[in-house]
Structure 1
Protein backbone atom coordinates (compact mmCIF):
# COMPACT_ATOMS: atom_id res chain seq x y z
CA UNK A 1 0.00 0.00 0.00
CA UNK A 2 1.41 3.37 -0.97
CA UNK A 3 2.31 5.72 1.85
CA UNK A 4 -0.17 8.37 0.69
CA UNK A 5 -3.08 5.89 0.56
CA UNK A 6 -2.15 4.44 3.96
CA UNK A 7 -1.93 7.93 5.45
CA UNK A 8 -5.29 8.95 3.98
CA UNK A 9 -6.87 5.74 5.28
CA UNK A 10 -5.61 6.42 8.80
CA UNK A 11 -6.76 10.05 8.55
CA UNK A 12 -10.23 8.87 7.48
CA UNK A 13 -10.45 6.56 10.50
CA UNK A 14 -9.45 9.51 12.70
CA UNK A 15 -12.12 11.71 11.05
CA UNK A 16 -14.76 9.05 11.73
CA UNK A 17 -13.69 8.93 15.38
CA UNK A 18 -13.81 12.72 15.71
CA UNK A 19 -17.28 12.75 14.14
CA UNK A 20 -18.46 10.49 16.97
CA UNK A 21 -18.14 13.43 19.33
CA UNK A 22 -20.22 15.85 17.28
CA UNK A 23 -23.52 15.84 19.18
CA UNK A 24 -26.28 13.77 17.63
CA UNK A 25 -29.88 14.90 17.38
CA UNK A 26 -32.21 12.41 19.09
CA UNK A 27 -35.06 11.33 16.81
CA UNK A 28 -36.43 8.28 18.58
CA UNK A 29 -34.68 4.92 18.52
CA UNK A 30 -31.94 6.23 16.19
CA UNK A 31 -30.27 9.66 16.41
CA UNK A 32 -29.38 11.92 13.50
CA UNK A 33 -25.58 11.80 13.29
CA UNK A 34 -22.81 13.19 11.16
CA UNK A 35 -20.77 9.97 10.94
CA UNK A 36 -22.40 8.72 7.75
CA UNK A 37 -20.76 11.61 5.88
CA UNK A 38 -17.47 9.97 6.87
CA UNK A 39 -18.66 6.73 5.27
CA UNK A 40 -19.57 8.62 2.11
CA UNK A 41 -16.17 10.30 2.02
CA UNK A 42 -14.28 7.08 2.73
CA UNK A 43 -15.59 5.42 -0.41
CA UNK A 44 -15.54 8.55 -2.56
CA UNK A 45 -12.07 9.81 -1.68
CA UNK A 46 -10.16 6.64 -0.80
CA UNK A 47 -11.73 4.34 -3.37
CA UNK A 48 -13.35 1.00 -2.72
CA UNK A 49 -10.36 -0.83 -1.24
CA UNK A 50 -9.06 1.77 1.19
CA UNK A 51 -12.52 3.18 1.89
CA UNK A 52 -13.72 -0.27 2.87
CA UNK A 53 -10.56 -0.81 4.91
CA UNK A 54 -11.07 2.47 6.81
CA UNK A 55 -14.67 1.57 7.66
CA UNK A 56 -13.74 -1.96 8.75
CA UNK A 57 -10.92 -0.67 10.99
CA UNK A 58 -13.26 1.89 12.54
CA UNK A 59 -15.97 -0.70 13.16
CA UNK A 60 -13.45 -3.17 14.61
CA UNK A 61 -12.31 -0.44 16.99
CA UNK A 62 -15.96 0.04 18.00
CA UNK A 63 -16.53 -3.70 18.43
CA UNK A 64 -13.47 -3.86 20.70
CA UNK A 65 -15.15 -1.32 22.95
CA UNK A 66 -13.33 1.83 21.95
CA UNK A 67 -15.56 4.93 22.13
CA UNK A 68 -15.58 5.63 18.39
CA UNK A 69 -19.30 5.57 17.59
CA UNK A 70 -21.79 8.39 18.03
CA UNK A 71 -21.77 9.85 21.52
CA UNK A 72 -18.53 8.06 22.33
CA UNK A 73 -20.16 4.67 22.43
CA UNK A 74 -18.50 1.42 21.54
CA UNK A 75 -18.73 -2.28 22.17
CA UNK A 76 -20.72 -4.97 20.44
CA UNK A 77 -24.20 -3.79 21.52
CA UNK A 78 -24.63 -1.14 18.77
CA UNK A 79 -24.05 -3.87 16.18
CA UNK A 80 -27.17 -5.67 17.38
CA UNK A 81 -29.36 -2.80 18.63
CA UNK A 82 -31.49 -0.16 16.94
CA UNK A 83 -28.52 1.17 14.95
CA UNK A 84 -27.41 -2.24 13.66
CA UNK A 85 -28.88 -1.90 10.18
CA UNK A 86 -27.01 1.33 9.60
CA UNK A 87 -23.74 0.06 11.02
CA UNK A 88 -23.78 -3.14 8.96
CA UNK A 89 -24.49 -1.08 5.82
CA UNK A 90 -21.53 1.27 6.30
CA UNK A 91 -18.82 -1.00 4.80
CA UNK A 92 -21.12 -1.97 1.92
CA UNK A 93 -21.88 1.70 1.20
CA UNK A 94 -18.20 2.66 1.17
CA UNK A 95 -17.44 -0.31 -1.07
CA UNK A 96 -20.16 0.53 -3.61
CA UNK A 97 -19.42 4.25 -3.62
CA UNK A 98 -15.76 3.50 -4.30
CA UNK A 99 -16.49 0.91 -7.00
CA UNK A 100 -19.00 3.17 -8.72
CA UNK A 101 -16.69 6.17 -8.78
CA UNK A 102 -13.83 3.98 -10.01
CA UNK A 103 -16.02 2.86 -12.94
CA UNK A 104 -17.14 6.44 -13.62
CA UNK A 105 -13.49 7.57 -13.61
CA UNK A 106 -12.63 4.95 -16.25
CA UNK A 107 -15.32 6.38 -18.50
CA UNK A 108 -14.37 9.99 -17.68
CA UNK A 109 -17.81 10.58 -16.17
CA UNK A 110 -16.85 11.97 -12.77
CA UNK A 111 -18.56 15.27 -12.12
CA UNK A 112 -20.72 16.87 -9.45
CA UNK A 113 -23.93 15.16 -10.59
CA UNK A 114 -22.49 11.64 -10.95
CA UNK A 115 -20.72 11.81 -7.60
CA UNK A 116 -23.82 13.20 -5.89
CA UNK A 117 -26.08 10.52 -7.39
CA UNK A 118 -23.63 7.77 -6.43
CA UNK A 119 -23.45 9.05 -2.86
CA UNK A 120 -27.23 9.39 -2.63
CA UNK A 121 -27.86 5.87 -3.94
CA UNK A 122 -25.30 4.10 -1.74
CA UNK A 123 -24.62 6.56 1.08
CA UNK A 124 -28.24 7.51 1.70
CA UNK A 125 -30.73 5.08 0.17
CA UNK A 126 -28.76 1.89 0.85
CA UNK A 127 -27.90 2.90 4.41
CA UNK A 128 -31.42 4.12 5.21
CA UNK A 129 -33.06 1.00 3.76
CA UNK A 130 -30.69 -1.18 5.75
CA UNK A 131 -31.41 0.95 8.81
CA UNK A 132 -35.15 0.38 8.35
CA UNK A 133 -34.65 -3.38 8.11
CA UNK A 134 -32.44 -3.26 11.19
CA UNK A 135 -35.08 -1.32 13.13
CA UNK A 136 -37.72 -3.82 12.05
CA UNK A 137 -35.61 -6.76 13.21
CA UNK A 138 -34.13 -5.33 16.43
CA UNK A 139 -37.04 -3.27 17.76
CA UNK A 140 -39.98 -5.13 16.21
CA UNK A 141 -41.04 -1.88 14.58
CA UNK A 142 -43.31 -2.71 11.65
CA UNK A 143 -41.31 -2.44 8.42
CA UNK A 144 -43.61 0.16 6.84
CA UNK A 145 -43.28 2.32 9.96
CA UNK A 146 -39.48 1.84 9.95
CA UNK A 147 -39.35 2.90 6.29
CA UNK A 148 -41.46 5.98 7.00
CA UNK A 149 -39.19 6.80 9.95
CA UNK A 150 -36.26 6.97 7.51
CA UNK A 151 -37.89 9.97 5.83
CA UNK A 152 -36.86 12.07 8.83
CA UNK A 153 -33.22 11.53 7.86
CA UNK A 154 -33.54 12.38 4.16
CA UNK A 155 -33.19 16.21 4.33
CA UNK A 156 -30.04 15.97 6.46
CA UNK A 157 -28.68 13.11 4.39
CA UNK A 158 -29.11 15.14 1.19
CA UNK A 159 -27.20 18.04 2.75
CA UNK A 160 -24.47 15.62 3.88
CA UNK A 161 -24.37 14.15 0.35
CA UNK A 162 -23.87 17.59 -1.17
CA UNK A 163 -21.09 18.41 1.30
CA UNK A 164 -19.44 15.02 0.64
CA UNK A 165 -19.66 15.63 -3.11
CA UNK A 166 -18.08 19.08 -2.86
CA UNK A 167 -15.29 17.74 -0.61
CA UNK A 168 -14.73 14.79 -2.93
CA UNK A 169 -14.41 16.98 -6.03
CA UNK A 170 -12.12 19.42 -4.25
CA UNK A 171 -9.85 16.74 -2.79
CA UNK A 172 -9.71 14.73 -6.02
CA UNK A 173 -8.55 17.86 -7.87
CA UNK A 174 -5.92 18.57 -5.21
CA UNK A 175 -4.60 15.00 -5.24
CA UNK A 176 -4.50 14.99 -9.04
CA UNK A 177 -2.58 18.27 -9.03
CA UNK A 178 -0.14 16.91 -6.43
CA UNK A 179 0.46 13.70 -8.36
CA UNK A 180 1.29 15.67 -11.53
CA UNK A 181 3.59 18.16 -9.76
Structure 2
Protein backbone atom coordinates (compact mmCIF):
# COMPACT_ATOMS: atom_id res chain seq x y z
CA UNK A 1 0.00 0.00 0.00
CA UNK A 2 1.39 3.45 -0.92
CA UNK A 3 0.33 6.74 0.69
CA UNK A 4 -0.01 10.21 -0.94
CA UNK A 5 3.71 10.90 -0.51
CA UNK A 6 4.61 7.71 -2.40
CA UNK A 7 5.86 5.98 0.75
CA UNK A 8 5.14 2.28 0.89
CA UNK A 9 3.20 1.30 3.98
CA UNK A 10 2.68 -2.11 5.46
CA UNK A 11 -0.85 -3.45 5.72
CA UNK A 12 -2.17 -4.84 8.97
CA UNK A 13 -1.71 -8.32 7.49
CA UNK A 14 1.95 -7.56 6.65
CA UNK A 15 2.60 -6.14 10.13
CA UNK A 16 1.02 -9.21 11.70
CA UNK A 17 3.15 -11.54 9.57
CA UNK A 18 6.34 -9.60 10.43
CA UNK A 19 5.49 -9.65 14.15
CA UNK A 20 4.72 -13.37 13.99
CA UNK A 21 8.06 -14.07 12.31
CA UNK A 22 9.87 -12.07 14.99
CA UNK A 23 8.08 -14.17 17.62
CA UNK A 24 9.15 -17.37 15.83
CA UNK A 25 12.77 -16.18 15.79
CA UNK A 26 12.53 -15.43 19.52
CA UNK A 27 11.09 -18.88 20.29
CA UNK A 28 13.81 -20.58 18.22
CA UNK A 29 16.34 -18.70 20.35
CA UNK A 30 15.06 -20.44 23.47
CA UNK A 31 16.83 -23.59 22.33
CA UNK A 32 20.44 -23.42 23.53
CA UNK A 33 23.24 -23.43 20.98
CA UNK A 34 25.45 -26.48 20.64
CA UNK A 35 29.15 -25.58 20.79
CA UNK A 36 31.42 -27.33 18.32
CA UNK A 37 34.75 -26.56 19.95
CA UNK A 38 36.56 -26.19 16.63
CA UNK A 39 35.05 -22.77 15.93
CA UNK A 40 33.74 -20.15 18.41
CA UNK A 41 30.23 -20.30 16.91
CA UNK A 42 27.49 -22.67 18.16
CA UNK A 43 24.94 -24.61 16.13
CA UNK A 44 21.60 -22.81 16.52
CA UNK A 45 18.02 -23.21 15.31
CA UNK A 46 17.34 -19.53 14.64
CA UNK A 47 18.77 -19.70 11.14
CA UNK A 48 15.84 -21.91 10.09
CA UNK A 49 13.57 -19.00 11.05
CA UNK A 50 15.64 -16.66 8.89
CA UNK A 51 15.23 -19.02 5.91
CA UNK A 52 11.48 -19.29 6.53
CA UNK A 53 11.22 -15.48 6.70
CA UNK A 54 12.59 -15.18 3.16
CA UNK A 55 10.46 -18.00 1.77
CA UNK A 56 7.21 -17.11 3.45
CA UNK A 57 7.26 -13.32 3.75
CA UNK A 58 9.30 -12.44 0.69
CA UNK A 59 12.25 -10.08 0.35
CA UNK A 60 10.76 -6.93 1.91
CA UNK A 61 8.76 -8.28 4.85
CA UNK A 62 11.16 -11.15 5.55
CA UNK A 63 14.11 -8.76 5.72
CA UNK A 64 12.10 -6.36 7.87
CA UNK A 65 11.28 -9.14 10.35
CA UNK A 66 14.91 -10.25 10.67
CA UNK A 67 16.18 -6.66 10.80
CA UNK A 68 13.72 -5.71 13.60
CA UNK A 69 14.63 -8.89 15.49
CA UNK A 70 18.32 -7.96 15.26
CA UNK A 71 17.59 -4.39 16.39
CA UNK A 72 16.07 -5.89 19.53
CA UNK A 73 19.19 -8.02 19.97
CA UNK A 74 21.46 -5.00 19.45
CA UNK A 75 19.48 -3.11 22.11
CA UNK A 76 20.53 -5.81 24.57
CA UNK A 77 17.54 -8.12 24.69
CA UNK A 78 18.80 -11.68 25.24
CA UNK A 79 17.01 -13.16 22.22
CA UNK A 80 19.79 -15.07 20.53
CA UNK A 81 20.36 -18.72 21.29
CA UNK A 82 21.75 -19.19 24.78
CA UNK A 83 20.28 -15.89 26.01
CA UNK A 84 22.82 -13.73 24.20
CA UNK A 85 22.20 -10.18 23.13
CA UNK A 86 23.79 -6.75 22.86
CA UNK A 87 26.22 -5.09 20.50
CA UNK A 88 29.14 -7.21 21.70
CA UNK A 89 27.38 -10.26 20.30
CA UNK A 90 26.83 -8.47 17.01
CA UNK A 91 30.53 -7.68 16.53
CA UNK A 92 31.99 -10.81 18.12
CA UNK A 93 32.84 -14.08 16.36
CA UNK A 94 29.18 -14.73 15.48
CA UNK A 95 28.78 -11.27 13.91
CA UNK A 96 29.33 -12.45 10.34
CA UNK A 97 26.55 -14.98 10.61
CA UNK A 98 24.26 -12.31 12.07
CA UNK A 99 25.13 -9.81 9.31
CA UNK A 100 24.36 -12.53 6.74
CA UNK A 101 20.98 -13.13 8.38
CA UNK A 102 19.90 -9.61 7.44
CA UNK A 103 20.52 -10.38 3.75
CA UNK A 104 19.19 -13.96 3.63
CA UNK A 105 15.43 -13.17 3.42
CA UNK A 106 16.15 -10.57 0.75
CA UNK A 107 18.22 -13.00 -1.35
CA UNK A 108 15.86 -15.96 -0.88
CA UNK A 109 12.80 -13.82 -1.55
CA UNK A 110 14.29 -12.33 -4.72
CA UNK A 111 15.48 -15.74 -5.90
CA UNK A 112 12.02 -17.22 -5.47
CA UNK A 113 10.36 -14.27 -7.23
CA UNK A 114 12.77 -14.53 -10.16
CA UNK A 115 12.18 -18.25 -10.66
CA UNK A 116 8.40 -18.19 -10.25
CA UNK A 117 6.50 -21.04 -8.67
CA UNK A 118 5.63 -23.45 -11.40
CA UNK A 119 6.52 -26.94 -12.49
CA UNK A 120 6.46 -30.33 -10.85
CA UNK A 121 10.03 -30.09 -9.61
CA UNK A 122 9.85 -26.49 -8.39
CA UNK A 123 10.49 -27.68 -4.83
CA UNK A 124 14.03 -28.58 -5.95
CA UNK A 125 14.53 -25.04 -7.29
CA UNK A 126 13.18 -23.63 -4.03
CA UNK A 127 15.48 -25.88 -2.01
CA UNK A 128 18.48 -24.87 -4.16
CA UNK A 129 17.75 -21.17 -3.57
CA UNK A 130 17.25 -21.64 0.17
CA UNK A 131 20.39 -23.77 0.41
CA UNK A 132 22.52 -21.36 -1.63
CA UNK A 133 21.59 -18.28 0.40
CA UNK A 134 20.46 -19.75 3.72
CA UNK A 135 23.35 -22.18 4.08
CA UNK A 136 26.34 -21.46 1.83
CA UNK A 137 26.08 -17.66 1.91
CA UNK A 138 25.62 -17.54 5.71
CA UNK A 139 28.32 -20.10 6.46
CA UNK A 140 30.74 -18.47 4.00
CA UNK A 141 30.26 -14.93 5.28
CA UNK A 142 30.34 -16.20 8.85
CA UNK A 143 33.63 -18.01 8.25
CA UNK A 144 35.20 -14.90 6.71
CA UNK A 145 34.10 -12.87 9.76
CA UNK A 146 35.41 -15.50 12.21
CA UNK A 147 38.75 -15.47 10.39
CA UNK A 148 39.05 -11.70 10.66
CA UNK A 149 37.71 -11.52 14.22
CA UNK A 150 39.68 -14.39 15.72
CA UNK A 151 42.91 -14.13 13.73
CA UNK A 152 42.35 -17.61 12.31
CA UNK A 153 43.57 -18.33 8.79
CA UNK A 154 40.73 -17.99 6.29
CA UNK A 155 41.34 -21.50 4.99
CA UNK A 156 41.08 -22.92 8.52
CA UNK A 157 37.94 -20.91 9.22
CA UNK A 158 36.29 -22.02 5.98
CA UNK A 159 37.30 -25.62 6.63
CA UNK A 160 35.88 -25.58 10.16
CA UNK A 161 32.62 -24.05 8.95
CA UNK A 162 32.08 -27.17 6.84
CA UNK A 163 30.88 -28.73 10.10
CA UNK A 164 27.74 -26.54 9.84
CA UNK A 165 26.81 -27.60 6.30
CA UNK A 166 25.09 -30.97 7.05
CA UNK A 167 22.92 -29.58 9.86
CA UNK A 168 22.14 -26.38 7.97
CA UNK A 169 21.20 -28.46 4.93
CA UNK A 170 18.71 -30.39 7.06
CA UNK A 171 17.33 -27.05 8.32
CA UNK A 172 16.96 -25.84 4.71
CA UNK A 173 15.04 -29.01 3.80
CA UNK A 174 12.78 -28.62 6.85
CA UNK A 175 12.24 -24.96 5.97
CA UNK A 176 11.13 -25.77 2.41
CA UNK A 177 8.84 -28.58 3.58
CA UNK A 178 7.21 -26.40 6.27
CA UNK A 179 6.72 -23.40 4.00
CA UNK A 180 5.32 -25.48 1.14
CA UNK A 181 2.81 -27.08 3.51
CA UNK A 182 1.85 -23.70 4.94
CA UNK A 183 1.32 -22.28 1.45
CA UNK A 184 -0.79 -25.28 0.47
CA UNK A 185 -2.97 -25.27 3.59
CA UNK A 186 -3.51 -21.53 4.02
CA UNK A 187 -4.85 -18.78 1.82
CA UNK A 188 -2.81 -16.22 3.78
CA UNK A 189 0.41 -17.12 1.98
Q: Shared fold by TM > 0.5?
A: yes
Using the size of structure 1 for normalisation, the TM-score is: 0.93
Find the aligned partners of 2:104 and 2:151 in 1 and give their Cα distance.
24
> Structure 1 residue 78 and structure 2 residue 95: aligned?
no
1:24 aligns with 2:33: yes
Tell me how large the CA RMSD over aligned residues is.
1.5
Tell me which residue corresponds to 1:173. 184
Structure 2 portions without partners, runs of 5+: 1-9
Measure, in 1, the Cα distance between the counterparts of 2:80 and 2:188.
33
> Secondary structure in 1 aligned to 2:82?
helix
The answer to whether the 8 A contact 1:133-1:143 is kept is yes
Other-structure match for 1:64: 75
In terms of fraction of residues, the more helix-rich structure is 1
Equivalences for residues 151-162 of structure 1 within 5 A: 151-162=162-173
CA contact (8 A) 1:48 1:98 kept: yes
Count, aligned residues: 177
Find the partner of 1:94 among 95, 105, 117: 105
Cα shift at 1:3: 2.2
Q: Does 1:124 align with 2:135?
A: yes
- Structure 1: unaligned runs, 5 residues or longer: none
- Matched with 2:66 is 55
Correspondent of 2:16 among 7, 12, 18? 7
Q: Give a deviation string over 1:1-31, Cα, whole Å, max 9, x none.
A: 2222221110100010111111211113010
**1:39 equivalent in alignment to 2:50:** yes
User: How far is the alpha carbon of 1:174 from its aligned partner?
Assistant: 2.7
